[in-house]
Structure 1
Amino acid sequence: MNRDTEALPLEASKDEGFVETYDNLLKNLFLSKQAGETDGIFIPHQKLQHATWLASIISLSKSETLKNLANSFGALLHLYAPNNPAYQKACYIIQSRSGNLLSSKHIPNIFENGKYLNSFGALLDLELGTTRGRLTHRLEGAGEFVFTDYQAKLWAAIRSGANVAISAPTSAGKSFIIRRYIVEKLRASPETAIFVVPTKALINQVSMDFKSDLKDRAHVYTTYRPQDDGDEKSTVYVLTPERCNKLLQDKTIRPPRVIFIDEIHNLEAEGRGMVFENCLYGLVARFPQSQFIFAGPFIEDIVTPLKELSGLELIDETTVATPVFQVKAAITFLSRSYSAEYRIFSQTGNVIFGETILNKRLFSKAKSKKGQAIAAFLGNLKQDESCIVFAPGKATAEKWALELPRPTNSSQEHEDAIEELIDFLADEIHPDYSLIRTLRNGVAFHHAGLPDIARIEIEELYSKEAIRSLVCTSTLLQGVNLPADKLIVISPKNDSTPLTPFEFKNLIGRAGRISTNLYGEVYCLEVKDEEWGEEKLTNHDKTKIKTNTTAILQTHTDSVIRFATATRNEIFENQDNGKLYTTICYLRHLFVSDKNHFDRLLGTSQIRSDQREELEEKLSQVKDQLSIPMELLRQNPYVDPLLQNQLYLEIKEDPFSWIPTNHPNTRRLPPAPDDISFKNQNFYQQFDDIARRLDRIFHIEKEVNSKFTNPGEYVSIGTLVYDAYQWMSGKSHRFFIDKFLNKLSQNPDDFSREEDTESESKKRPVDKAARHVTKNISSNITFKLVKYFSLWSDITKACTSEADHEEYAYALSLPSMIELGSYDPRVLELMSLGINRSIALKLRKDLPKAVDNVEVWLQNFNTTKLSPLLRRYLERSGLTKKHDE
């Protein structure tokens, strides 16, 4: 299309008649979603006909923004009169021309069983048939799929073998394309793939999808485990950036065919940004011949920062195209009024104003009792679709879920599955856990504090619409696949921090799921004179990736230089600079062990040459103090090299005084006398002794409690050791919750301060206990404690012989035992396959002590021995076969 013809669609999009008709169609759809009787908007046929003709012109534009406009007009036209055959055909033609046949499956009477039901006319039949043929792809092992234009373009790019950087909205379908590409490669020949996700919560979701797609054609591992020589199966590792570190240390791994890193904007995250950065750089340096694919939403110029960091040549696959459109509205509650003002933000650029009648006055509730305001507002909307409510924190999510009304059309089909989840929660968590109460009401909450299997089951029940209303926290911002027909936001914060424009845009991108609907709805609830919705909904800024390390170097250059050689205590004594400690440690590590990466990083930070010289001079002083081998230092890039060196020197002096010599399940003895030797202590005492020596060097207790709010939640090093030991012994969450509840009942004043004014946690102590326990396990035990015991294991191995490694292999695997929550090798083997800990512990009694191949054993295991919930989980994973009762 030449310049003049490209100007025609733009002119058509600004036509007064088209804009008026589009906005009236949008307002009509908004009004149709109100629960009460509302008068629809009558639009003369001539105006619809004129606007449809213009929309067909707009759909031929090269601009994805204009294509989105045309596509949404087609959907609005169909939704205005869904039984009108002419509008059905017009919608299909416009969506075909705008490259969005994916959504055409929602238009009836058009295409069925591989053929068109009616003719559009000879020329249109040829055009539409050609487009459908171009966008239809047969995927290995999955049948035929109709792609969008963007998906087809992305498919071609990644199948070329090139490195690709993707910036696309949540609903663009990029994850589906990438997963199917990896499946195709792994099914074709024995290959290895690495799929990096930002959180442990996503590991479960992604690994289950791969297991379902690949079945027995590939191993799907969620922790690193070595590949067997001669294994003819493919392998896909689904890992967090932290778990990639162990993989990078294995010199024998088969080079991956493809490496995918999702949610790449996490490079900017405070704290974890350097973990993403180090993972990315390490994978590129280690596997330069692999194909790399990066993805994230709404990123401006995604290629430049990734190229600077990795040195890779990348194809830019940025898009704003989306198969679903959104009805975005701000609802403003008025003081002492049963009315609310609404503003609908149209893709034409206009704002549509009006008023709607409420069942209750909601101004005061929206200010002080937000959960009740949301519940009441839902009564003003039709309840025939899925709804997600965004909550700023865990306690708030739980309280709001308790206040939401039961969906009027809740399904009875999955009632048994909900009861089975309730039984599991009562056993694993506590009978008084509020999630049990909400589930009985057809509602659930979803946050990072849920046990894995509960979170997985809620996601499954929600996807099947057994649960219609879900209250979620910032897990929605971390890539968890939970799209909704409706999304409600009343407090646009993550805890007490306002969401950035990027975070908010990422959040509302969850509204609209192409599997069920042509559109999604976003409602921002606010009060008069405290409006925020318009600012958030009309902000179309994209984020620019800047690694967290680069950002800190640029903004705190002088402080970083000043503290480059300082001890941990010296840095933390200056309160403003305590947050710089992790960055300073990382820069020390890079300068000493990976100068190429250090030089690349400082090159992107653009600090002055004299500042760079001063920083390097100080870091050279750090390097001169180190005795620890560089290869060993590289294995733990996030721990201060000076402290690693201190530990190395202490272990080197007598490594065997650092290695447990007894088995964990030996009887726990009373506290050991001060004069008893290390080797004569039992396992618990040796574990405690090592942890305390590590704490003396690394201040683990201070790190664990850096953000605690109440005295009763303080975790001493002794408590941490005790909890970690009980976690390894297979104790359930219920054990720790009961322990915390007992402590709470004895010292109620220590828990008086609340993290959320709406939480009312005094009335729900079980919920408070569950949140504390899951945080303690997921953050303190399986992350922070694991970090230092991994370092202990690496250094101890470096200070002993290969023969010693074999003799003490079990003891030196303590980091895996702590992280996975078991010291039973059989349970660890099951969990390395991606099986949830709760299920692995139940399978332990049936798994023989000596079994050659656990995966083969699982395929033959009779799952009817398990509860229906656990059986469904295993069968969905593809690790077991279905068995009749």
Structure 2
Amino acid sequence: MKLLERLATDAFEDEYFNMLFDKINKIYFQDIFREEVEVLNEKELIDILRFCDILSNSTNNKHKNIAYKVVTLLYPFYKEKSYFKTVSTAALSKIGNFPALQLLNYDVSLPIDREIERDVKKSIQHIDDFGNIFLTDSQFSLYHQMRNASVFSFSGPTSMGKSFMMKIVISEQMKKGKKPNIVVIVPTRALIHQFATEIKKDLQHQLDNQNYTVLTNGNLEGVNIEGLHLIMILTPERLLSYLSEDDYPEIDCLFVDEAHKLASDQDKRSVTLYTAIERAIYANRSIQLFFASPNVSNPEVFLKLFNKDAQHVFYSNESPVSQQLFYVDLLIEQVAHYTENGIKEYYPNMVMNQNLDSLDLIEKLSQGQSNLIYCHSRRDAVTKARQFSLLYGEETLTRSQKKRINDAIQIIKKIVHPDYYLIDCLKKGVAYHFGSLPQVLRYNIEQLFKDGVIRYLFCTSTLLEGVNLPAKNVFILKNKNGNRNFKKVDFWNLAGRAGRLKYELSGNIFCIRDEEKDWKKINEILDNKEQIHMNPTVSNNLEKNLTYIVDAIQNKEIKKINKGEQDIVHYLANIISIDTLDLETDYQTPIISNLIKNNHENIIDIAKEKVQNIEVPYHILKTNQHMAVEQQESAYQFIIENEDNFKKTLFPRKIDYQNCLAILNQFYDIYKWDKYEKRLKSKNSLKYFALLMNNWINGTSLNEIINQSIDYAARNKRNISYYDDENRKQYDVFLRKNRIQVNTLINDLIKEIEEILRFTIQKYVNHYYLLLEENYGKEQAGSNWSNYLEYGTRNSVVIILQNMGLSRYVANLLIKEHPTYFTINDGTLINVQKESLLKVLEEGSIEEQEVLMYL
């Protein structure tokens, strides 16, 4: 062991150091919870800074993290002390945390060898394509390993900046002689917009110079890509849709963001993600493949899943932002402070005998900082945001803040409804955020929060999906995502957003318990975040549920596992059955390879029997493995049986309520929705969805759809289920003056558009159109309603503009009010007179912002 390493190890284990470290943790706690703050004497301060300097010279991440933690704990109290300035600058230089150094910005002189070492590091770790950005040591090590790799999997703390590291590698890829077409898979549509915006913002110069265009959908119809290379930000479903088109450009490079989603064992979309990656690999056997995940200590598992070389991996627990974790139990009036030296328990006056609830505590602890408040459901986020805004909302907003908030309110009134609760919250500097909010609203809320105009944001699991909204304080009110308990990786992905790189040295995480049923087995979640091992859903089920999978292949009833597991088992049974078709070629999918390796050829034989008489074309089965073979075959046979009257099988040219209802009724029968689709199980519900579908496809604005729904509910005295202000479930006749009912209707409607129209129904429409195209050819297959459902319009140019990143609202507005600025030839967008268009748009408007960003 080298001398510096031995000294660091001795310091780390030193009893006196650990006493001092416990003391500064306690001082930090006392300050946060407004207790009388102890102080270090001069000797103690000098001594702990000496320990910090020694630890910073280690190559051990644990030692470096402690050194950085010492700096962040001391900073609020001793930042003006000259000795602190010198040692903190030296320590951060040695650690290579240049964002923190830029934040401190101390003008101090270091010993000449330290100055030279820091300057050399800065020179090497500077990234030319991103302005005045210097990588941390950990980031630079990752960059150095990943830049020339063809396959790679990396993981680190949320604050390490996974998305930023992917953008650096994308920038490198764009400079290659043979320009690759690049796809980034993200888990949700909400994340598509964010990542596309970041690419456009951070890499605009490279995009222009290297002839790249950024798209947010796999539909290239009408997009002029001649002479251009592609960067596409897609969900797994959109990637599968892209891969279903034989004549689309080949994908050369695939980035999988939030790769831990491959191990979401209760979510069948983890299997869809696996399928999308497997299909992309099949389409291009030499594809470059990169996985990025948060806090996963075995990132090689994602490479192994696809039979790739598991040596090309990187894992770091070194965080460029320090975090303090507090568990506040309001029921027993105790605070547990989770430190590197164990859990320290306190009974501060702030929570003792105060009869506080979670909202009271948030107000007391927020201290004028940016605050993310995680709620386990959409309804809870809205309810708590409303309550908080009424109790503690801001009353002293500046004139410029009021203007920006008022601009956002006007957008909400136009797009949603004047009675939407988000308006009331915003007036008090509070907001809520969830995935199904319209894109324009999400973007506005995110910008207001990032710019500090609003300081309290109540949000749902959208943040778990990777939406980048860090804050000084993260409050976690439930250890659940919906009805499911957190997995450790989910908790730390969320908690990791405490502390904003480049803005703060540290962040605070507050887990609050104010109900008896919450936060069971808490230490299993909060302790030992360095040891988060993942087992992908596919691998896990092949190991543990193989008997059930065989039963599902044979259409036997499965009872002994929960509904989420049953869905995944049926999905995998379907995939195995379809994958056996590949055995007629020289290709084995990873799942088939696994079965053969483990001597389960009998299962393959059973699966072969299931598909031996299936007539659906192979490539359609393969890109629609989420859909049961029986469903696909039923739809295909319907088309075959009606070939003599083929017009009966086509989507009608005229799109109105009657034709929408006819299609839904037809799909209900041929796709057996009563068996396979819980949300569409009742045939009576199809009348409602036909009405919604007709309005959406024909471009009716969301505001108009909402107003029609309110009018219909009021006129027909429709009963509505909702929760009152006391959180009691009610079922009453709808009254348009009842704002709770109006907001419930609006949020339910928005969710139905996103989850039923644009997801569930759209996937069936897309599948059916592929069958029509296969059977009749593209010229005779008729209209593709799938695109209309996805984009909420029949206007081809509006579709193209949305694919380029614009919101539905802005795309419709531009084509309606400013059509002359767009040159269209045979359904393809040839040119946009961007500069001229900007001159007629209101300065600072959402239309101007989106045109500047995406066109």
TM-score w.r.t. length of structure 1: 0.86
Q: Which of 301, 304, 319 does residue 301 from structure 2 map onto?
A: 304
Matching of residue 143 in structure 1 with residue 131 in structure 2: yes
C-alpha distance in structure 2 between counterparts of 1:310 and 1:744, whole Å: 54
Are the aligned partners of 2:362 and 2:475 in contact in 1 as well (CA < 8 Å)?
Answer: no
Identity of aligned residues (%): 21
- Kindly tell me: are residues 58 and 554 of structure 1, through their superposed partners in 2, closer, same or farther at Cα, counting changes over 3 Å? same
Deviation at 1:783, TM superposition (A): 0.9
Matching of residue 343 in structure 1 with residue 336 in structure 2: yes
Match in the other structure for 1:559: 548
Are the aligned partners of 1:729 and 1:822 in contact in 2 as well (CA < 8 Å)?
Answer: yes
C-alpha distance in structure 2 between counterparts of 1:91 and 1:521, whole Å: 21
Are the aligned partners of 1:585 and 1:640 in contact in 2 as well (CA < 8 Å)?
Answer: yes
Report Cα offsets for 1:162-204 as digits up to 9, x if no partner: 4210111110122112113313432666542111111000000
C-alpha distance in structure 1 between counterparts of 2:786 and 2:715, whole Å: 33
C-alpha distance in structure 2 between counterparts of 1:623 and 1:528, whole Å: 51
Report Cα offsets for 1:395-447 as digits up to 9, x if no partner: 00001111222247755433222212211212221111111110111000111
Q: Which of 414, 428, 432 does residue 427 from structure 1 map onto?
A: 414
C-alpha distance in structure 2 between counterparts of 1:147 and 1:199, whole Å: 28
C-alpha distance in structure 2 between counterparts of 1:293 and 1:728, whole Å: 36
Q: Which of 506, 513, 517 does residue 519 from structure 1 map onto?
A: 506
- Aligned partner of residue 639 in structure 2, secondary structure: helix
Match in the other structure for 1:633: 621
1:269-668 aligned at under 5 Å gives the runs 269=264, 270-312=267-309, 314-333=311-330, 340-347=333-340, 349-358=341-350, 363=355, 373-381=357-365, 383-404=367-388, 405-407=392-394, 410-526=397-513, 534-540=523-529, 542-566=531-555, 579=567, 580-593=569-582, 600-604=590-594, 609=599, 612-655=600-643, 656-660=646-650, 663-664=653-654, 668=656
Please identify, of 215-224 and 322-331, the stretch whose mean Cα deviation from structure 2 is larger: 215-224
Match in the other structure for 2:697: 728
- Kindly tell me: are residues 631 and 352 of structure 1, through their superposed partners in 2, closer, same or farther at Cα, counting changes over 3 Å? closer
Matching of residue 194 in structure 1 with residue 170 in structure 2: no
C-alpha distance in structure 2 between counterparts of 1:69 and 1:574, whole Å: 44
C-alpha distance in structure 1 between counterparts of 2:112 and 2:528, whole Å: 44
C-alpha distance in structure 2 between counterparts of 1:589 and 1:757, whole Å: 51
C-alpha distance in structure 1 between counterparts of 2:704 and 2:488, whole Å: 41
C-alpha distance in structure 1 between counterparts of 2:525 and 2:847, whole Å: 44
Deviation at 1:765, TM superposition (A): 1.3
- Kindly tell me: are residues 382 and 491 of structure 1, through their superposed partners in 2, closer, same or farther at Cα, counting changes over 3 Å? closer
C-alpha distance in structure 1 between counterparts of 2:750 and 2:272, whole Å: 22
Report Cα offsets for 1:705-756 as digits up to 9, x if no partner: 4499xx9xx9722322221121011122233433444565578885447599
Q: Which of 758, 761, 784 does residue 782 from structure 1 map onto?
A: 758
- Aligned partner of residue 749 in structure 2, secondary structure: helix
Are the aligned partners of 2:325 and 2:510 in contact in 1 as well (CA < 8 Å)?
Answer: yes
Match in the other structure for 2:214: 220
Deviation at 1:346, TM superposition (A): 1.6
Deviation at 1:93, TM superposition (A): 0.9
Please identify, of 212-221 and 165-174, the stretch whose mean Cα deviation from structure 2 is larger: 212-221
- Kindly tell me: are residues 574 and 522 of structure 1, through their superposed partners in 2, closer, same or farther at Cα, counting changes over 3 Å? closer
TM-score w.r.t. length of structure 2: 0.89
State the one-letter code of the partner of 2:402: E
Deviation at 1:702, TM superposition (A): 5.9
C-alpha distance in structure 1 between counterparts of 2:2 and 2:717, whole Å: 73
Are the aligned partners of 1:29 and 1:80 in contact in 2 as well (CA < 8 Å)?
Answer: no
Match in the other structure for 1:76: 73
Deviation at 1:321, TM superposition (A): 0.8
C-alpha distance in structure 2 between counterparts of 1:109 and 1:850, whole Å: 54
Match in the other structure for 2:258: 263
Deviation at 1:837, TM superposition (A): 0.6
1:159-238 aligned at under 5 Å gives the runs 159-186=147-174, 190-215=179-204, 217=208, 218-226=212-220, 231-238=226-233
- Kindly tell me: are residues 701 and 469 of structure 1, through their superposed partners in 2, closer, same or farther at Cα, counting changes over 3 Å? farther
Are the aligned partners of 2:326 and 2:336 in contact in 1 as well (CA < 8 Å)?
Answer: yes
Match in the other structure for 1:9: 8
State the one-letter code of the partner of 1:779: E
- Aligned partner of residue 831 in structure 2, secondary structure: helix
Match in the other structure for 2:122: 132
Please identify, of 740-749 and 145-154, the stretch whose mean Cα deviation from structure 2 is larger: 740-749
Deviation at 1:276, TM superposition (A): 0.6
- Kindly tell me: are residues 786 and 662 of structure 1, through their superposed partners in 2, closer, same or farther at Cα, counting changes over 3 Å? closer
Are the aligned partners of 2:279 and 2:623 in contact in 1 as well (CA < 8 Å)?
Answer: no
- Aligned partner of residue 448 in structure 1, secondary structure: coil
State the one-letter code of the partner of 2:342: N
* RMSD between aligned residues: 3.1
State the one-letter code of the partner of 2:136: T
- Kindly tell me: are residues 319 and 757 of structure 1, through their superposed partners in 2, closer, same or farther at Cα, counting changes over 3 Å? farther
C-alpha distance in structure 2 between counterparts of 1:858 and 1:10, whole Å: 64
C-alpha distance in structure 1 between counterparts of 2:474 and 2:352, whole Å: 21
Deviation at 1:208, TM superposition (A): 1.0
- Aligned partner of residue 525 in structure 1, secondary structure: strand
1:744-783 aligned at under 5 Å gives the runs 744-745=713-714, 750-752=719-721, 758=727, 764-783=740-759
- Kindly tell me: are residues 152 and 599 of structure 1, through their superposed partners in 2, closer, same or farther at Cα, counting changes over 3 Å? closer
Are the aligned partners of 1:396 and 1:759 in contact in 2 as well (CA < 8 Å)?
Answer: no
Matching of residue 806 in structure 1 with residue 779 in structure 2: yes
Are the aligned partners of 1:58 and 1:66 in contact in 2 as well (CA < 8 Å)?
Answer: yes
Report Cα offsets for 1:554-596 as digits up to 9, x if no partner: 33322322231328xx679999685343332222222235677
State the one-letter code of the partner of 1:847: P
- Kindly tell me: are residues 744 and 331 of structure 1, through their superposed partners in 2, closer, same or farther at Cα, counting changes over 3 Å? same
Match in the other structure for 1:797: 773
Matching of residue 55 in structure 1 with residue 27 in structure 2: no
C-alpha distance in structure 2 between counterparts of 1:790 and 1:61, whole Å: 56
Matching of residue 26 in structure 1 with residue 2 in structure 2: no
Q: Which of 805, 808, 817 does residue 788 from structure 2 map onto?
A: 817
Report Cα offsets for 1:288-338 as digits up to 9, x if no partner: 333221101122321134224243455111110111111111223256xxx
Deviation at 1:42, TM superposition (A): 1.4
C-alpha distance in structure 2 between counterparts of 1:770 and 1:592, whole Å: 46
- Kindly tell me: are residues 603 and 757 of structure 1, through their superposed partners in 2, closer, same or farther at Cα, counting changes over 3 Å? farther
Match in the other structure for 1:676: none
Structure 2 runs not aligned, ≥5 long: 732-738
- Aligned partner of residue 758 in structure 2, secondary structure: helix
C-alpha distance in structure 2 between counterparts of 1:487 and 1:326, whole Å: 10
Structure 1 runs not aligned, ≥5 long: 111-117, 366-372, 669-683, 880-885
State the one-letter code of the partner of 2:824: V
C-alpha distance in structure 1 between counterparts of 2:759 and 2:716, whole Å: 28
Report Cα offsets for 1:84-124 as digits up to 9, x if no partner: 222112111111222322211121333xxxxxxx4223333
Report Cα offsets for 1:536-556 as digits up to 9, x if no partner: 322426443333233333333
Matching of residue 856 in structure 1 with residue 831 in structure 2: yes
